[in-house]
Amino acid sequence: MLLQILDRENAFVILTLDEFESLIEGGGTEAVYKLTRVQEARQNKPQRLSLVCILRNLKAIEQLDTSTRSTLQSNIISLEKYSKQQLIDIFNDRVSLAFEPLTVPEDTVSLIAELASSEGGNARFGVELLWRAGKYADTEDLGVVTPECVRKAASSIYPAMRKSDLAFLSFHEKLFLLGIARFFKESQRAQTSFMEVEQAYAVVCEEFTVQPHSHTQLWKYLQSLSNFGIIKTEVSVAGLRGRSTLIYLPRIQAQELEKELSALLEK
């Protein structure tokens, strides 16, 4: 009946089936076979119906018989996961639809894209972060959606680190992380450089009247904190001087982290 209507209207349909695995699991070979062979009963007539089948894993079609599988495998386009820049474009588009102008800074979108990228380029996860961060900004009557709102949103989806995780850090690792927490709390930026956190650490050391550790030792602390998942680092090209390391605080509020570290250091 569909094809008769298409003939009468001289129209064509591209039928796009998302989550195609569900049709394979529910209907098996027969359902898919009929879809792929519907044109064969219409010799010498225009091909009115074309299929685009979207799968997360190509192995799903191995459940089909050889004939049906060969038809589906004739034209395959493999799509890579979204890059960070593509995610930024997606989220900026959502921002333009859902938020008042200038209420979501670039740093906020960049942090959301960084977190979504770390989840395998998961745009849906990023959109949820954007929505939750916007809700937190509304609740606190902030006027803008800050990176700290994003961290709060992330910690509401994934539980924040346990206090015991911080307790196992060495004294100077705690001081170094406290410097990072204070930097993000005061600046409301999404990322920073190693030089800036080194300066923040030096201020903390002065407060606790201890001698700062060397640049090399701080670099080791940075790698250790990154391995623990407390912070996230990214190598970025920085003009003519080569590469630089960008530092993020992804999944815990800077204010909450500062509070926990201060309590531990006071002990």
Nearest to 193 by CA among 233, 241, 149: 233
Asked if 84-157 and 163-266 have one fold, the answer is no
pLDDT of residue 240: 40
Average pLDDT over residues 14-27: 86
Second CATH level (architecture) for the domain 84-157:
Orthogonal Bundle (1.10)
| Contact (CB, 8 A) for 88 and 109 | yes
Q: How far apart are CA 117 and CA 125, in angstroms?
A: 10
Rounded Cα distance between 195 and 179, Å, is: 12
Those residues whose C-beta lies under 8 Å from the C-beta of residue 109, and which sit 6 or more positions away, are 88, 91, 92, 95, 130
Contact 82, 217 (CB under 8 A): no
**Backbone phi, then psi, for 17, in 5-degree steps?**
-110, 100
Check whether 196 has a pLDDT greater than 70: yes
Q: pLDDT tens, 198-231?
A: 999 999 999 999 999 999 999 999 988 888 778 8
Is the Cβ–Cβ distance between 245 and 191 less than 8 Å? no
Asked whether the predicted pLDDT for residue 242 surpasses 70, the reply is no
233: which residues sit within 8 A by CB, 6+ positions away? 222, 223, 226, 245, 246, 247, 248
State how far the Cα of 35 lies from the Cα of 57, in Å rounded to an integer.
Answer: 20
Judge whether 102 and 143 are in contact, CB under 8 Å: no
Q: Which two tokens stand for residue 58?
A: 């190509």
Closest CA to 142 of 99, 176, 174: 99
The domain limits of the chain are: 2-72, 84-157, 163-266
Determine the pLDDT at residue 162: 63
Predicted confidence (pLDDT) per residue in 139-186, tens digit: 999 999 999 999 989 888 765 566 667 888 899 999 999 999 999 988
Percentages helix, strand, coil for the chain (3-state, rounded to 5) are 60, 10, 30
Chain centre distance of CA 43: 48
**Cα distance between residue 51 and residue 231, in whole Å:** 44
Burial class (CB in 10 A: 0-12, 13-18, 19+), 66: exposed
Separation of alpha carbons 145 and 107, rounded Å = 10
Least confident of 78-87, 109-118, 223-232: 223-232
The third-level CATH classification (topology) of the domain covering 163-266 is: Arc Repressor Mutant, subunit A (1.10.10)
**Global confidence as pTM:** 0.66
Torsion-angle region of 191 (φ positive above 0: left; ψ -120 to 50: alpha; else: beta)? beta
What's the pLDDT score for residue 139? 93
